Amino acid sequence: MTRQRRQLRRPALLVLADGAVFEGEAIGATVPVATGEIVFNTCLSGYQEVVTDPSYAGQVIAFTYPHIGNYGVSPEDEESGRPFCRGVVVRDVTERPSNWRSAESLEQFLVRHRIPGITGIDTRRLTRHIREEGAMGCALGTAGEVELLAAARAETGTEGVDLVAEVSTHVPYRPSPALESPEGRESGLRVVAYDFGIKSTILRNLTRVAEVEVVPATTPAAEALERHPHGVFLSNGPGDPAALDHIRTEIGKLLGVVPVFGICLGHQLLAGALGAGTYRLRFGHHGGNHPVRRVETGTVEITSQNHGYAVEPDSIDGAQVTHVNLNDGVIEGLARDDLRAFGVQYHPEAGPGPHDARYLFEEFRSEMERSR
């Protein structure tokens, strides 16, 4: 059966904007052409959480781990209502997953959500190419090489694009009962969470410390404060923070009024509201194994990360650097104690990844309790 199914797959190509070509077979939603910005992720597991992370909007995800789909997919592991990535690239996709929680295979999941993919790719060669040349536009599908190359070169990527508008909720909502915790309801604390592409695992952690209401990314600061929150959370999200001036302006109006905690894009926007700039990383940080040093204690945390931009060190004025990436020195955390504001570039909630930094949610709780 496996051999027969593989014979039914159509030949496909992955073509990068610089002309590099990779041969494989189409999986998921079979399309002539799909485009996006190609990035690689180094997680060994958690592929479903990666694919459903809204922070990948506009991007094609190449997994460095060779066997993807081994344990299938489960509705409980989704980080959002649907995938926002443009495509998936793997070395070998598992056709017959083995896990008691599996509801369907990864390929069935991709088909259902109309996400194209390609298997049989030499992902080691691809990863080395991206590391050397940087993230860039790509095209994958069953079309010919000439058509795919033209599409890859026409792909605009994420720079200067407001991708938050694509992934954010349009109406305020409270997390589903499946994500809520009695601890948060009993705390008496209230958090307004800005949705720039918020993950379900973040909501699970936030609801352990407070009652949470999620609001659209464009919510004015005045409307957020009308809810009388004890704190405001700024979520992760996709794309270039430099394209979000309107959001940074509103965040600036929150500073000093209530405690503010930002993760990933939320951290970058918080830094922008404090006057810092951002820059594009060559190939980004995408994976679950990045070492980060906590400056205060010298402790090294192994962290989950997913971002293509970072805070410019020379632009920081008055903020304290709290965390630093040990691989390349990227700023991983900032704080302004006088404004009761702090943020981290990485993902303390994991999903997937290690839990070394979950203490940050408790620090947010403590800051809100001190500010009551």
Given this model, what pLDDT does residue 4 score? 44
Is 347 catalytic? The answer is yes
Residue among 200, 144, 135, 208 at smallest CA distance from 173: 200
Q: Indicate the pairing of strand 190-195 with strand 211-216.
A: parallel
Is 246 catalytic? The answer is no
CA 144, chain centre distance (Å): 31
Catalytic residue among 230, 290, 307, 347: 347
Given this model, what pLDDT does residue 2 score? 47
* All CATH 3.40.50.880 domain ranges in the chain, comma separated: 164-370
Given this model, what pLDDT does residue 6 score? 52
CA separation for the pair 40, 371 (Å, rounded): 41
Q: Is the pLDDT assigned to residue 177 strictly greater than 90?
A: no
CATH number for the 164-370 domain, one of 3.40.50.880, 3.40.50.1970, 3.40.50.1820, 3.40.30.10?
3.40.50.880
Given this model, what pLDDT does residue 318 score? 87
Given this model, what pLDDT does residue 3 score? 46
Q: What pTM did the predictor assign?
A: 0.95
- Tell whether domain 2-154 is in CATH 3.50.30.20: yes
Q: Mean per-residue pLDDT for 147-171?
A: 97
Residues whose CB falls within 8 Å of the CB of residue 186, separated by 6 or more in sequence, listed in order = none
Catalytic residue among 129, 264, 285, 307: 264
Given this model, what pLDDT does residue 372 score? 83
What integer best gives the mean pLDDT of the chain? 95
pLDDT digits (tens, 9 = 90+) for 206-243: 999 999 999 999 999 999 999 999 999 999 999 999 99
Among 1-15, 195-209, 308-322, whose mean pLDDT is lowest?
Answer: 1-15
Q: Specify the residue for token string 């799909």.
A: 34
Is 23 catalytic? The answer is no
* All CATH 3.50.30.20 domain ranges in the chain, comma separated: 2-154
Q: Mean per-residue pLDDT for 322-348?
A: 97
Q: Is the pLDDT assigned to residue 7 strictly greater than 60?
A: no
CA separation for the pair 263, 239 (Å, rounded): 14
pLDDT digits (tens, 9 = 90+) for 60-76: 999 999 999 999 999 99
Given this model, what pLDDT does residue 180 score? 82
Name the percent of the chain lying above pLDDT 70.
Answer: 98
